[in-house]
Structure 1
Amino acid sequence: MAHIDLGEDLPGLPSLLRFRPETAGPLSALAETLLRGPSPLERGERELIASYVSTLNECRFCAWSHGACAAAQLDGGMSLVEQVHADPATAPVSDKLRALLRIAAAVQRGGREVTGGDVAAARAAGATDVEIHDTVLIAAAFCMYNRYVDGLATFTPTDPQAYTRMAERLTTHGYGAPPSNPPQGAGTP
C-alpha cells in the first residue's frame, strides 16, 4: 500500500504524476527528452539503460516498465533485457553499449564513481561525448525516478502483461500525462 493516498487505479510513476500535476509536466518532459528525444543512442538502448539502472536500484516498477519498452524496441526482445539485467558483461550487446552500461552502473553507485577510465573505455568502443552525456543523465534521472516511485511505495503490478501494455502505449505515444484509463491489471495489489 502506498504511503500516501494515490488511488488504486494507476501503478508506479503514473500515479504520482496524477497526484501532483504541478510536477508531472517537468518530470514527463524530462523522460520524453531522455528516452525519445534526439540522441545518437537508439530509443531501445536508452530504455535499456534506464531499465538496467532501475534493476540496480531494485525499483521493480521502473525496471519492468522500461525493460518492456526496451524489449519492444530492440532485436533481442525481453531475452536481451534479462541478459543485460543479469550481467551486462556477458550480454549480447555491442562493446559500446556494454561500456555505456558500465558508466550507468557507476552513476548508480554515485556520480563520482565514474572514472576517466570508464569514459576512455566508452570512447575506445566508439561512444561519442553526446552518448556518454546522455548515458550519465539517464542513469542519474532514473536514480531520482526510482527513489520517487519506491519512496512513496507506489503499487507495482506483478502481471508481466501490464508492462507489455504500458510499453505499447509509451513506445507509441511517449511520456506525456498518465493514461486517463488505467492499464488492465493495475488495480489493487
Structure 2
Amino acid sequence: MSTSRYAPPALDQIPDDIREKILAVQEKAGFVPQVFLGLARRPAEWRAFFAYHDALMLKEEGSLTKGDREMIVTTTSAANQCLYCVVAHGALLRIYEKKPLVADQVAINYRKADISPRQRAMLDFAMKVCERSHEVDEADFTALHAHGFSDEDIWDIAAITAFFGMSNRIASFSGMMPNPEFYLMGRVPKAKA
C-alpha cells in the first residue's frame, strides 16, 4: 500500500541520511510507515518535519508521558478526520498505555474514555487548541496547573496539537493511507516467551 496521490521515491533515490533513518525505523518496527516514504519525495521538508516531530514527541523533559503525547495526537487527529494519524498514532497509544481499547475511545469521544482526570484536562485543552485556539485564555492555564501541568507542559500540549494539525492535513490531502500493520498493534497482548 502506498500514498495514493503522490508516489513515494524508491529507497535508492532517497538521500543517504534519510534512507539510513528509514531503514533504522524498518529494522525496529518490521515495516516502513507510509509517512516516512510519503514525505521523502521532498528531502528538505522530510528533515524539517522529523526534526520537529522528534523534538516534540521524543523529548524527556516535562511531565507528559509518551502515552500522553500519543493520546493528544490520536484525539486531535480524529477531530481533524485524519485516518492515517488516528490509526498510526492510535497503535502507539495502545502500546504505550498498555490499553487495547483506549485509542478507539479517545478517537470517538475522549470524554467517555477510560483515562485519568489529568488526561481529560489535557485533552480538553488540546481540543480547544485544535478547534478554537483563538479562545485560549488564562482560565485554561489555571485548569491545567491544577492537574500539575507546568507552563512548559502546556506549551508541549499546544505544540503537539498544532504540529499534528499540519501533519493531518498533509496526510489527508495526499491520500496517505495507514500501513495495515498499524491496525493490529497493541490490541492483543504479545505471547510470553
Deviation, 1:164, is 5.0
**CA distance in structure 2 between the aligned counterparts of 1:74 and 1:44, rounded to whole angstroms:** 5
Structure 2 residue 73 is matched with structure 1 residue 71: no
1:22 corresponds to: 44
Greater RCO, 1 or 2 (C-alpha within 8 Å, sep 6+): 1
2:110 partner SS: coil
Secondary structure, counterpart of 1:155 in structure 2: coil
Query: Is 1:50 the counterpart of 2:52 in the alignment?
Result: no
1:102-135 superposed Cα distances (whole Å, 9 cap, x missing partner)? 1111111142132332222111222211211100
Which runs of no fewer than 5 residues in structure 1 stay unpaired? 168-189
Corresponding letter in the other structure for 1:2: S
Write the mapping of 1:72-91 to structure 2, written as runs, cut at 5 A.
Answer: 72-75=95-98, 77-91=99-113
Paired letter, 2:75:
Y
1:144 and 2:182 are equivalent in the alignment: no
Partner of 1:120: 142
Letter in 2 for 1:61: Y
SS in 2 for 1:41: coil
d(CA) in 2 for partners of 1:54, 1:127: 22
1:51-78: CA deviation from partner (whole Å, max 9, x where unpaired): 1111110101011101111111113x23
Alignment-mate amino acid for residue 58 of structure 1: Q
Pick from 8, 26, 34 the counterpart of residue 6 of structure 1: 8
Identity of aligned residues (%): 26
Contact 1:2 1:155 in 2 (8 A): yes
- Does structure 2 conserve the Cα–Cα contact (< 8 Å) formed by 1:11 and 1:154? no
Conserved? CA contact 2:74–2:85, under 8 Å: yes
| Residue 12 to residue 56, structure 1, CA distance change in 2 (3 Å) | farther
Deviation at 1:17, TM superposition (A): 2.1
Contact 2:74 2:106 in 1 (8 A): no
CA distances 1:127-153 after superposition (whole Å, capped 9, x unpaired): 211211100000000000001111222
For residue 172 of structure 1, what is the aligned residue in structure 2? none
What TM-score, normalized to structure 2? 0.74
CA distance in 2, matches of 1:56, 1:90: 15
Partner of 1:61: 84
**What one-letter code is carried by the residue in structure 1 that aligns with 2:131?**
R
Where structure 2 has 5 or more consecutive residues not aligned to the other structure, the ranges are: 12-31, 187-193
TM-score, normalised to structure 1, is: 0.76
Aligned equivalents of 1:45 and 1:142: distance in 2? Answer: 14
Q: In the alignment, what sits opposite 1:41?
A: 64
Change (3 A) 1:57 1:12: farther
Describe the SS at the equivalent of 2:115.
Answer: coil
Which of these two proteins has the greater Rg computed from alpha carbons? 2
User: Over aligned residue pairs, what C-alpha RMSD do you find?
Assistant: 2.3
